[in-house]
C-alpha cells in the first residue's frame, strides 16, 4: 500500500460551540451535515432555525448536506432533538465559514452525557489517484487512544505503519491521503497490534474524502463498529 503526503490538520474542533466566523462583510453559503454518533439517544431531528432540514436520523446515520446562509447580520440557530427528550440535545449558534463543508457530530461521553463537535472539511486539493481519510474516535467504551491501519485484505499488522495514531476519544485524526484501492481497516489501542476491530474490504475511490467513525456497536457479537461517511 502506498501512502502519500500527510496533510496538516485543517478542520477545527468545537465542543458544544462553534467554528471561527468569517469576516463581517462576507455573504454566501456553507454546507452542514449531522452525524448521529450517540448510542444512548433515539432518532435525531435536525432544525435550522425553525425548519426541519433532515429526515430523522438513527444511530450511525448521517444527514444529507443542507445549506446555511452566511450573512453579516444573520446567525443561524441549529437545534437537534432526540426522540423522547423534550429539550434539544444540541442548541448552538452556527458560526461557519463561507463555502465550507462541515459535519456536526453528536456523541455520547463515557459518563453518558451528550456532546457535539463541529468538523470542517479540508479545502486542500487531492492529488492524482489518492483518496482522503479522516478517522474519528467516538466509542465511549474504549477509554484509551486508538491507532487505525488501512491495509491490503488479509494482511498482518506486523511491520505496518498506522494511517493515523494516538487518536483520543472525541477527536478526529490528522487527515491522510492514500492511494486508491480496496483496503481493510483495522483499529487497535494505541501502540498495540491486537485488533479491537477489523472491517472487511472497502473500495476507496480516488478524488473522494471519507470520514471513518469508530463507534460502539449495538450487539454483543459486534461491540464495536467503524462507519464510513463519504464527505463529498
Contact 201, 124 (CB under 8 A): no
pLDDT value at residue 37 = 98
What mean pLDDT do residues 61-69 have? 95
Between residues 6 and 229, which one has the greater pLDDT?
Answer: 229
Average pLDDT value over all residues in the chain: 89
pTM: 0.86
Which of 103, 44, 32, 106 is closest to 69 using CA atoms? 32
Which pLDDT tens digit goes with each residue over 19-58?
344 444 457 899 999 999 999 999 999 999 999 999 999 9
- Entry field: residues in the chain: 232
- The whole-angstrom separation of Cα 52 and Cα 59 is 18
- The whole-angstrom separation of Cα 42 and Cα 89 is 11
pLDDT value at residue 11 = 34
Which of 103, 118, 109, 15 is closest to 62 using CA atoms? 103
pLDDT value at residue 211 = 97
pLDDT value at residue 7 = 34
pLDDT value at residue 213 = 98
pLDDT value at residue 127 = 86
What mean pLDDT do residues 109-117 have? 97
pLDDT value at residue 219 = 96
Between residues 13 and 196, which one has the greater pLDDT?
Answer: 196
Between residues 166 and 16, which one has the greater pLDDT?
Answer: 166
User: Is the predicted pLDDT of residue 136 greater than 50, yes or no?
Assistant: yes
Q: Where do the domains of the chain lie, and which CATH numbers do they carry?
A: 28-120 (2.60.40.2890), 125-230 (2.60.40)
User: Is the predicted pLDDT of residue 152 greater than 60, yes or no?
Assistant: yes
User: Is the predicted pLDDT of residue 76 greater than 50, yes or no?
Assistant: yes
User: Is the predicted pLDDT of residue 15 greater than 60, yes or no?
Assistant: no
Q: How confident is the model at residue 164 (pLDDT cuts 50, 70, 90)?
A: very high
- The whole-angstrom separation of Cα 19 and Cα 87 is 23
Of all residues in the chain, what percent carry a pLDDT higher than 70? 89
Amino acid at each position: 500500500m502506498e501512502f502519500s503526503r500527510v496533510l496538516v490538520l485543517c478542520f477545527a474542533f468545537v465542543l458544544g460551540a462553534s467554528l471561527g466566523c468569517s469576516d463581517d462583510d462576507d455573504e454566501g453559503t456553507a454546507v452542514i451535515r449531522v452525524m448521529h454518533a450517540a448510542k444512548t439517544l433515539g432518532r435525531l431531528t435536525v432544525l435550522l432555525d425553525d425548519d426541519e432540514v433532515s429526515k430523522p436520523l438513527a444511530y450511525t446515520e448521517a444527514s444529507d448536506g443542507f445549506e446555511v446562509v452566511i450573512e453579516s447580520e444573520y446567525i443561524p440557530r441549529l437545534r437537534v432533538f432526540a426522540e423522547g427528550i423534550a429539550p434539544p440535545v444540541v442548541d448552538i449558534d452556527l458560526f461557519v465559514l463561507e463555502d465550507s463543508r462541515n459535519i456536526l457530530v453528536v456523541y455520547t461521553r463515557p459518563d453518558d452525557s451528550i456532546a457535539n463537535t463541529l468538523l470542517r472539511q479540508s479545502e486542500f486539493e487531492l492529488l492524482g489517484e489518492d483518496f482522503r481519510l479522516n478517522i474519528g474516535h467516538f466509542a465511549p467504551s474504549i477509554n484509551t487512544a486508538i491507532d487505525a491501519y488501512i491495509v491490503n485484505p488479509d494482511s498482518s499488522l506486523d511491520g505496518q505503519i498506522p494511517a493515523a495514531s494516538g487518536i483520543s476519544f472525541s477527536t478526529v485524526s490528522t487527515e491522510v491521503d492514500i492511494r486508491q484501492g480496496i483496503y481493510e481497516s483495522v483499529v487497535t489501542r494505541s501502540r498495540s497490534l491486537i485488533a479491537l476491530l477489523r472491517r472487511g474490504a472497502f473500495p476507496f475511490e480516488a478524488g473522494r474524502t471519507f470520514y471513518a467513525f469508530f463507534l460502539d456497536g449495538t450487539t454483543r457479537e459486534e461491540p464495536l463498529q467503524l462507519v464510513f461517511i463519504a464527505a463529498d
